[in-house]
Structure formats: C-alpha cells, structure tokens
Amino acid sequence: MTGLKKALRRLLKPYMGLPKEVYIIFLSKVVNALGCFVMPLLTIILKDSIGLSDEMTGAYISASGLLYLPASIIGGKLADTIGRKKVIVVFDFLAALLYISCSFMEPSITMVYTIMLAGACMVAAGPAHDSLLADITTNENREGAYSLAYMGWNLGFAVGPVIGGILYEKNLHLVFIGDAITALISLGIITFFIKETIHKTKEEIKDESRILERREEGSIFSVLRKRPILIYFALIVFWFNFSYSQWSFLMPLHVLELYPEGKAKFFGLLSGLNGVVVIVCTPVITYLLQNVKSIRKNVYGGLLYAIGFGMLGFFNALPHFFISVIIFTLGEIVLAISTSPFIANHTPASHRGRMSAVLPIIFGAGHTLGPIGMGRILNFTNIEGGWKIVGIICIIASAIMLSLEAWERKAHYTVVEEAK
C-alpha cells in the first residue's frame, strides 16, 4: 500500500503546487466538456439528420474551418490588446446563444450555418484561453498545467458524448440546449474566479531560462521570422491534425456503414472511451515522458496515430474500433501535453494571443482540410483504403518531426543569442 501511495504521488507531482487559477480552469473545462454534445455528433447530424452526402458533409465541415481562420486572427489580436477575459466572455457567450437558437430550428441548411457561426465564436475565444493559461504559468510548471487542463476537458468528455448520443436519439434539440447550458456555467466559473492577466505580459522576465518569453516589439510576423522553428513545427503538426480529423469524419462514416443501427450510441461509446483513456493515462504518460523533449514526444505521438488509425484499414470488427481508439488516444495525449507548451516556451509574452491564433491557422488547417480531403479520396477508394492513407501520412510526418530535432537545438541557440 505504501508503494502504491508513493507511485500515485509521483504521478500527481506535475499537478501539485500549481497556481490556483489553473485548478479553476481545470474545473471550467470539466463542466464545459460535460455538455460537449454538438461537435462529436456533427458528422452524424449533417449526414443523418439533415441528409447531406458524404462529400457535402466533408465540404461543410471544412468550410467551417475556413470561417475559423479570420475568427482566430481577430480573437488573438483582441486577446493581446483588450485582454484575455473580455474576449472569452464575449465570444463564448455568443456561441452559447447561437446553440440555443439552434434548439428552436428544424434540421436544415440554416441550422448548419448557425452551428458554423457558433464554432467560429468558440475559435475566436481560443487564443485568449491559451494565453490565459500561459500567463499564469512558467516553463517549469507549464507542461503540468496544460496537461491538467487537457485532462479536465477529457474528464467531462468521457461522459458528455455518451449523454449527447442518447439525447440525439431522443430529441436533437436537447443536444443544443444541453451544450449551451454547460458552456454558460463554465464561462461563469472563469468570469467570477479568474482575474485578467494581460498585465503580466508587460512585466520584465529576468529568468534566463525564459529568455524566449521576453516581451518584443513588432508584428507577429517579425517574431516568426526570428523563430522559423515554430513554422516548421506547425507544418508537421498540420499532418497530425489532418489525420486526427478523421476521428470525427471518417470514423463516423465507417460506423454508419458497418453498424447503421444504434450508430449514435455506438459512436458515443467510442467518444466516451477516448475520454476515459485520457483520464487514466494522461498522468502516466506525463510522468513517463517528463524528461523527453517536446519534439521527440511529437514523434511518438505521430507513430501512435499511424498504428491506431492505420489499423482500421486492415481490421474493422467491432472490437477493433475500441482498440483503435485506445491506441490513437495515447498519441493524442502525447501530442496534447507537448505541443502547446513548446509553442508557449518559444513565444514572447507580448505575442501570446497572436501566436495562439496564427500557428493554429497553420496546423489547424489539418482539421479543416481533413474532412474535405478525405471526402475527395473516398471518390477513388473505400473507407479501408482511406485509413491506410492516414497511416502512411502519420509515418512520414513522424519521420520529418524526428529530423527537426537537430534543427530545434540549433534554432534555440540562435534565438537565445539574438535575445541577449
């Protein structure tokens, strides 16, 4: 028993002693994810409820991604100028109102456009959320903070999609109402218990280990010119996100094809398993990889994607879907706990909001183009062939990320010397 307690303390050590705001953010993410009903079921809503074709479903999901680009840029700029909390309150509140309006609509193209607009509002608030967490942490505790926030989201996500699947079978309108209510509660937690942090970006950073976070003047593009490693990193993560987008596009299509009865409940169970694996395994992986560099972690995450997604090109019996979810979720964890801290540790505090907008435009395009790209691919091959292509993409991207490790060492040294 004593040995077990020591092991638990070691696993929980990265989450201990963090700023109190981190735990509040953790709670808000749990609540928000408990009501995350719409997005996990979006493909099924578009195809099954509204009646769109596979290609049109992918086109609308990708069109949403194009709408997210200007929303992210605007949100990032506002986060660096007027403040993090104001951006979060305005745009998250608008998203909740739009979901409520969907609950009064019949399934139609109008509903699709309203969902797209709600998603754009959530994306606009995204850079402010990321900047808020970066503002209250340092390079020493940042990975633990991001890991805890990520785990909080998935703690709720382990239950939310399961409930969403049940509600979908009963009444589509309840899906939107439930999502909106939990979003408003989550927003209230942040509004009343976390103070504005933008003033921290103006404080002088004297710690030499955080030299890359020191405030700089100029545009976001001038910062990126000095730190091209961030561009290369984002371009590789693009392909990981392209592959991960098939979790919400190709996977539901595969489920609809093989198991048309109870499709929403089945996919809800798969989504719930995704959340359970995150909850159970995030502390373990964070502990096991605590001494591994962020870029190397991305290599491991990409290879887990290759196995988890690629295997469905060869095996598609019922148990194989659950095995696939377990494997690619391990890759999701590895990437989640390393990508955002890497970016935050290489970004001036004065540009956190804009960097949290611009880089996700690059690697977030993977999510945007993933559905429409795979929709086109499915015109030439079957779903199993699509999964094989995803596996190959992940292997190639992982190999390129590995080669970037040497560049990272050189780029870090160059930027540090210029900053001194």
Q: Is residue 6 part of a domain?
A: no
DSSP 215: -
User: What pLDDT is recorded for position 410?
Assistant: 65
State the DSSP string of 13-78. Answer: GGGTT--HHHHHHHHHHHHHHHT--TGGGHHHIIIIIS---HHHHHHHHHHHHHHHHHHHHHHHHH
- Are residues 408 and 292 in contact, defined by beta-carbon separation less than 8 angstroms? no
The pair of three-digit structure tokens given for residue 417, joined into one six-digit string: 């010397």
pLDDT per residue as tens, the chain (420 positions): 566 677 777 778 888 889 999 999 999 999 998 888 787 777 778 887 787 777 788 787 778 777 888 898 999 999 999 999 999 999 999 999 999 998 888 888 888 889 889 989 999 999 999 999 989 988 878 888 888 998 888 788 778 877 887 888 778 888 889 899 999 999 999 999 999 998 887 777 766 667 777 778 888 888 888 888 899 899 999 999 999 999 888 888 888 887 777 666 777 788 778 878 888 898 889 888 888 888 889 999 999 999 999 999 998 888 889 999 999 999 999 999 889 888 888 888 888 889 888 898 888 888 878 888 888 888 888 989 999 999 999 999 999 999 988 777 765 555 555 555
* Helices (H), ranges, 136-159: 142-157
- The CATH number of the domain holding residue 245 is 1.20.1250.20
Residue 104 within any structural domain of the chain: yes
Residue 144 included in any domain: yes
Q: Which amino acid is at 297?
A: K
What's residue 420's pLDDT? 53
Question: What is the 8-class DSSP label of residue 140?
Answer: T
Task: Name the CA dihedral angle for 411, 414, 418, 420, rounded to a multiple of 10 degrees.
Answer: 100
Residue 259: per-residue pLDDT: 76
Residue at 5 is within a domain:
no
Q: Determine contact, residues 27/189, Cβ cutoff 8 Å.
A: yes
Q: Check residue 272 and give its pLDDT.
A: 75
What b/e string do you get for 200-223 counting C-beta neighbours within 10 Å, with b at 16 or more? bbeeebeeeeeebbeebeeebeeb
DSSP assigned state of 382: -
3-state SS, residue 354 = helix
* Residue 247 in domain: yes
Split into its structural domains, the chain has a count of: 1
> Which amino acid would we find at residue 105?
M
| 276 and 158 Cβ atoms separated by less than 8 Å | yes
**Is 97 a domain residue?**
yes
CA neighbours within 13 Å on the CB side: how many for 94? 17
- 136 lies in some domain: yes
Q: Quote the CA–CA distance of 299 and 390 in Å, as a whole number.
A: 16
Instruction: Tell me whether residue 182 is in a domain.
Output: yes
Q: What is the rounded CA–CA span in Å between residue 36 and residue 52? A: 23
Cα gap 77→80, rounded to integer Å: 5
Q: Domain range spanning residue 33?
A: 15-419
